[in-house]
């Protein structure tokens, strides 16, 4: 925790710039080891506006910047992750909709993000808004994404160089069939929690859903990661929420918290992640630190 509040009154900006330069130097020195197997992280929270898309995009970009092979699957009809990764997603673009509804292959719809050579995205278009209803009467409606993803990852993994290290799936703000498909396709759940009132409301329902999927559809699924987002260290409320989340989820909650930062919210309007848009900003550094923590956990022995 930053306790330098009194000293800060002198030259807070200069202090922050110095501290950020030092954080960046440390991050630049770190080597990210590839996880032994592809990790599939499903970023979910049925609340809107808690930072799911921002977390998906920026953790993915940070991992790609560190040299890992990363695939983002945009499974939200709003297509905000596709926008921030700079991939085409106007209506009619081959997308995750065709994978769900027409049985298209991921290889036929995936695009490379212009931000990094090793960062890929399956885009979402507005067509996806109808998929939730279209899926209801389809066979194996809960496992359509898993089948497509398994086939794609297996085809990629024929060479070690092309093997994906991470797949990160961005979910819509609901627990409907799109999110169920994302849970069924994943191994790990990453829940972003916004540090504000009612932060924990709905969490027990989310966790119950994960448990149900685990029992009936995907025994390997586990809640591995919680990330505190839009954290404002000056407010007591943010600190109280953070303490409470850590108390309930001591092993899952990352040490890194993501600060509220204008740069983070501006980046998508330039079709960028904050990692590429403003690499020296506190938001970019925090997301790189979060990505490093996530990757360390895969290689640090607490993975079963």
Interacting residue ranges for ligand ADP, rule: CB under 6 A: 48-54, 80, 173, 229-230, 258, 260-261, 264-265, 283
Burial of 139 from C-beta contacts in 10 A (0-12 / 13-18 / 19+)? exposed
Q: Candidates 53-61, 98-106, 139-147, 291-299: pick the segment binding Mg ion (CB under 5 A).
A: 53-61
Q: Candidates 20-28, 44-52, 109-117, 230-238: pick the segment binding Mg ion (CB under 5 A).
A: 44-52
Residue pair 186/150 in contact by the 8 Å Cβ criterion: no
Give, as ranges, the residues between 252 and 291 that touch Mg ion (CB under 5 A).
Answer: none
Residue 245: CB minimum distance to Mg ion, A = 20
Residue 59: CB minimum distance to ligand ADP, A = 11
186 binds, among ligand ADP, Mg ion, none (CB under 5 to 8 A by kind): none
Of 52 and 146, CB closest to Mg ion: 52
Beta bridge partners of 70: 119, 166
**What's the CA gap between 141 and 39, in Å, rounded?**
23
Residue 217: CB minimum distance to ligand ADP, A = 23
Residue pair 160/111 in contact by the 8 Å Cβ criterion: no
CA distances from 288 to 47, 51, 135, 271 (A): 24, 15, 36, 19
Residue 172: CB minimum distance to Mg ion, A = 7
Of 66 and 177, CB closest to Mg ion: 177
Q: List, edge to edge, every strand of the sheet that includes 70-74.
A: 111-112, 119-122, 70-74, 166-170, 39-43, 188-194, 222-231, 253-259
58 binds Mg ion (CB under 5 A): no
260 binds, among ligand ADP, Mg ion, none (CB under 5 to 8 A by kind): ligand ADP
Residue pair 261/281 in contact by the 8 Å Cβ criterion: yes
Residue 270: CB minimum distance to ligand ADP, A = 12
Helix axes 282-299, 52-65, angle to 10 degrees: 70
Of 74 and 142, CB closest to ligand ADP: 74
* Position closest to Mg ion via CB: 53
144 binds Mg ion (CB under 5 A): no
Taking the CA atoms of residue 276, residue 125, residue 107 and residue 84 in that order, the dihedral angle to the nearest 10 degrees is 0
Choosing from 38, 53, 93, 281, the residue that interacts with Mg ion (CB under 5 A) is: 53
Residue 241: CB minimum distance to ligand ADP, A = 14
Binding residues for Mg ion (CB under 5 A) = 52-53
């Amino acid at each position: 925790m930053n306790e330098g509040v009194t000293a800060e009154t002198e030259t807070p900006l200069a202090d922050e710039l110095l501290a950020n330069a030092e954080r960046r130097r440390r991050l630049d020195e770190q080597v990210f080891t590839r996880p032994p197997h592809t990790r599939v992280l499903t970023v979910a929270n049925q609340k809107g506006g808690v930072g799911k898309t921002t977390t998906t995009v920026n953790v993915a970009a940070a991992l790609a910047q560190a040299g890992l092979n990363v695939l983002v699957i945009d499974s939200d009809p709003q297509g905000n992750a596709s926008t921030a990764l700079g991939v085409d997603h106007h209506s009619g673009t081959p997308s995750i909709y065709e994978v769900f509804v027409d049985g298209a292959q991921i290889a036929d719809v995936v695009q490379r993000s212009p931000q990094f050579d090793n960062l890929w995205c399956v885009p979402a278009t507005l067509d996806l808004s109808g998929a939730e209803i279209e899926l209801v009467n389809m066979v194996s409606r809960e496992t359509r994404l898993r089948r497509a993803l398994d086939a794609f990852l297996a085809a990629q993994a024929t060479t070690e160089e092309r093997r994906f290290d991470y797949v990160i799936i961005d979910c819509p703000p609901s627990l409907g069939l799109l999110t169920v498909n994302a849970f069924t396709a994943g191994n790990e759940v990453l829940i972003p929690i916004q540090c504000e009132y009612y932060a924990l409301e709905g969490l027990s329902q989310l966790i119950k859903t994960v448990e149900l999927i685990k029992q009936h559809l995907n025994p390997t699924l586990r809640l591995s990661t919680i990330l505190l987002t839009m954290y404002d260290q000056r407010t007591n409320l943010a600190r109280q929420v953070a303490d409470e989340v850590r108390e309930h989820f001591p092993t899952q909650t990352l040490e890194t918290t993501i600060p509220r930062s204008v740069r983070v919210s501006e980046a998508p309007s330039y079709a960028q992640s904050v990692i590429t848009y403003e690499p020296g900003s506190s938001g970019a550094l925090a997301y790189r630190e979060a990505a490093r923590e996530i990757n360390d956990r895969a290689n640090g022995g607490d993975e079963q």
